[in-house]
Structure 1
Amino acid sequence: MEALHQSGTQIAQRYKISYLLGRGATGKTYAATDLQTGEQVAIKEMSMRRAKEWKELDVFEREARVLSVLEHPAIPNYIDYFEIDTDTNRYFYIVQELAIGKSLSQMVVEGWRTDEAGVKAIARQILAILVYLHRLTPPVIHRDIKPEHAICRQDGQIYLVDFGSVRSAFWSTNSSGATVVGTFGYMAPEQDRGQVYPASDLYGLGSVLLFLLTHRSPAELPQRRLKIDFRSHVQVSEQFADWLDLMLEPMVEDRFHSALQALRNLPA
C-alpha cells in the first residue's frame, strides 16, 4: 500500500495537506491549503503505478483540460495541474477550489430529508449548471451525475464536482465502441451502450432527485417496461411526477431535449 500524504506535509512546495477527502482506484483526493493564496483547495492525485492502462492517464488529463476552461460559480475553480516523479512512481495532480459542504449522499446517510419544494430547488440549481455546460462549444457532458458529486453548502448552494467522466465533444447517434462510463442506478440507459448526449445528464439528475425523495438508489425501485416505476414510492404533486417521468424516460428522444427545456418546464 502506498503511503498517504500526511496532514501537514507539503506538495509541490505550495500546497499543505489538511486531510484525506476520498480515494479511488488510481489515487486519492486531499483537502489542502494553498500557501500562496491561503485558500482551501482540493487536490486530486493519480498514481501511474495504480493505473491499469494509459487511457486512465488520458482521462485524467482530459479532466484537467476541461476544468481549466470552465467558469461557473457552482463549479469549483480550476487552479493547477502538475506532475511529481519519485524513485518508484509518477504522480499527477489536479488542484481546484475546495467546495465546502456535504455531498447529497452524505446528507441522506446522516438522516437529512427534504420535501418537494426542497428537491425542486436543488433541481433548479443543477439544471442551471447543466445549461451552462451543454451550451459550451463543444458541449461538456458530465456523464456521472449522482448524489456524491453534488456538494451542498450550509446556505443551500449546490456545487457540481468530479468531472473525471466528462466528455467535451458531442457524441452522435452513430458513435460506437465508446467506453462505458457512469454509475449504476444513475446512468442513462444509452450510456450502457457507450453513447452519451446532453440529455444523458438529465437522466442522471432525475435519478438523483428520486434518491432524495425516496432515500433509495433508483436501481432498487421497481421497473415497468424498462422505466422506473416510482410514483407509489414518493409523495409529490402530479405535475412534478409527470416532469420526473420525462427526465427518466429510458429512450433519450423521449426526454426533455435540453437542460433549458427541463428548467423551463419544471413546475413552480
Structure 2
Amino acid sequence: MSYCLNPACPNPQNPSDTKFCLTCGTKLLLKDRYRAIKPIGQGGFGRTFLAVDEDKPSKPRCVIKQFYPQAQGTSTVKKAVELFNQEAMRLDELGKHSQIPELLAYFTQDDRQYLVQEFIDGQNLAQELVQVGAFSEAHIRQLLSDLLSVLQFVHSQQVIHRDIKPENIIRRSRDRKLVLVDFGASKVATANALNQTGTSIGSPEYVAPEQARGRASFASDIYSLGVTCIHLLTQRSPFDLYDINEDAWIWRQYLTSKVSDSLGKILDKMLETAPSRRYQSAEAVLKDLNSPSAQVVTVISQTPATPAKPPVKSSPVTPPVANTPANLSKSQIDVELEALKAEIMGGGTSKNENQKSASSQPPSPNPTKSKNHGERQVDLELEELKSQFLGSPTPKKPPQS
C-alpha cells in the first residue's frame, strides 16, 4: 500500500505500485525513493510514517517525518521550523551511535520539509509496560546500564535530549538493546545557551524543574531518566508519585516488588529537585550503579557441603571395562569388596545418624563382641555378593544365637 502525504487528501490510501495519488494527484514517492505505507504517529510539529526505501533491492523499512505544525502564530511556527531543522542536524551528528536512529535523508518536497531516518523494529517501553507489567529491579538496572552509556555519548557531543520518557525508548527486537529516539526537542548545550533561558520543552510528567523554566542542562536528562524508571517500577503516573504538600517523592509507596536500598538511593539522587544535589553526569550514575556496594547480592545458603567419598580404586593393570561377571577377575572383586567393607565398617553413617542410633539403642554389654559379630555379618554378606559374580557356592549362614 502507498499512503499519500498530502495532509488535505480525503482518501490517502493507494495501491502499492501507484506513483501518484488516485484521489489528489500528489506524488507518492519522496525523492523518487521513499514510499510511505501508513501513519504511525503525530505530534505538535509533524506526522510520522512507516515507509520503505524503493531504491534498495531488499526494500528496507524506514521512517518518514513530515514537518506539519499544528500550532498557530508566527513565533510558534518559526520555533517549530527551528526544532525540526535541529532534529535533522542532531541525527546527522548522533546517528552513528548504534543505539540512536541514523539519519538517511533530509529535504523539501512540495513546499514541505521531510526527514527520513532508520526504522527501529521493536516496542517502546510504554508499550512494553502495558504488556509485561511493572519492571523488576533487575530490569531497571539493565535499563540504566544500557541507556546511561547512550546519554554519555549524547552529552559528550554537547547535546541535551530534553524529552526522555518511555515512549522515546525502544527495545530493538533483533538484539534487545534500548534505542533512544526523537531528538526533536534536543538542544546544543553551548556555554552561552546554558546561561540563557530558553523555551520550555518536554513532556510535563518527566521534565526537570529547571527545564520547565527554560534552563535545561545535562542533569535534566538524568532527572527525566530517573522519573522514567520509577514510572516503570510502579506503573503509576509520575504526577501520582510526587507529594506536592510534602514536596517529596513517594514512589516507594507504589512499588509492587521491593527495591534494594542501593538502587533506591541512586534513583533518589537522580530525582533531586535541586540540580546541584543531583547527579551531574551519566558517568557519575554509572559509577554508583556499578560499585560493589550497589550490586544486588544473592544470598547463598551457608550449609557446608558434604565431603565427597573417595572413589573405589580399580586394578592398576586392568583398564576400565564394563562391570560384568565375564570381565571381572577374582582379585579385582576381592579388592573392591575389601574397599566396600572398609567403607561400611569405617563409619559410612553420618555423625548425626551415629549419635541418633547411639541414643536410641541400649548399650551393648560387650562392645568388642558386638563389633566382631557385626564384622562377621558383613563378611558373610560380601561373600554372597562375591558368589553372584564368580558363581561360587553361597556360604551358609551360622545359626542365629
Give the alignment's TM-score, normalised by structure 1: 0.90
Runs of at least 5 residues in structure 1 that lack an aligned partner in the other structure: none
Q: 2:208 aligns with which of 174, 188, 191?
A: 188
Whether 1:59 aligns to 2:80 is no
Instruction: Go from structure 1 to structure 2 and tell me whether the alpha carbon gap of 1:151 and 1:84 turns closer, same or farther (over 3 Å shift).
Output: same
1:120-135 alignment runs, 5 A limit: 120-135=141-156
2:326 is matched with none
1:232 is matched with 253
1:141 is matched with 160
Q: Deviations over 1:198-219 (max 9, x none)?
A: 0100000001111110011211
Instruction: Go from structure 1 to structure 2 and tell me whether the alpha carbon gap of 1:220 and 1:170 turns closer, same or farther (over 3 Å shift).
Output: farther
Larger Rg: 2
Q: Secondary structure at the match of 2:160?
A: coil
Q: 2:169 aligns with which of 141, 144, 150?
A: 150
Q: Deviations over 1:61-83 (max 9, x none)?
A: 01111111112100011110011
Q: 2:98 aligns with which of 56, 64, 73?
A: 73
In 2: Cα distance, 1:113 partner to 1:156 partner: 18
Cα RMSD, aligned residues only? 2.1
Q: CA deviation at 1:168?
A: 1.4
Instruction: Go from structure 1 to structure 2 and tell me whether the alpha carbon gap of 1:171 and 1:219 turns closer, same or farther (over 3 Å shift).
Output: farther
Instruction: Go from structure 1 to structure 2 and tell me whether the alpha carbon gap of 1:49 and 1:24 turns closer, same or farther (over 3 Å shift).
Output: closer
Q: Secondary structure at the match of 1:162?
A: coil
In 1: Cα distance, 2:162 partner to 2:259 partner: 27
1:2 is matched with 8
In 1: Cα distance, 2:149 partner to 2:8 partner: 40
1:14 is matched with 33
The range that moved more, 101-110 or 125-134, is 101-110
1:152-231 alignment runs, 5 A limit: 152-154=171-173, 155-170=175-190, 175-223=195-243, 225-231=246-252
2:282 is matched with 259
Instruction: Go from structure 1 to structure 2 and tell me whether the alpha carbon gap of 1:24 and 1:6 turns closer, same or farther (over 3 Å shift).
Output: farther
Asked if the contact 2:44–2:69 (Cα under 8 Å) also holds between the matched residues in 1, the reply is: no
In 1: Cα distance, 2:123 partner to 2:70 partner: 31
Q: CA deviation at 1:171?
A: 5.6
Q: Deviations over 1:48-95 (max 9, x none)?
A: 68664212101100111111111210001111001112xxxx311111
Q: CA deviation at 1:174?
A: 7.0
In 1: Cα distance, 2:53 partner to 2:193 partner: 43
Give the alignment's TM-score, normalised by structure 2: 0.62
The AA in structure 2 aligned to 1:57 is V
In 2: Cα distance, 1:77 partner to 1:198 partner: 22
Structure with bigger helix share is: 2
Identity value in percent: 34
Structure with bigger strand share is: 1
In 2: Cα distance, 1:116 partner to 1:209 partner: 10
Asked if the contact 2:133–2:235 (Cα under 8 Å) also holds between the matched residues in 1, the reply is: no
2:109 is matched with 84
Q: Deviations over 1:29-55 (max 9, x none)?
A: 011111123221111111268664212
The AA in structure 2 aligned to 1:116 is E
Bigger relative CO (Cα 8 Å, ≥ 6 apart): 1
1:97 is matched with 118
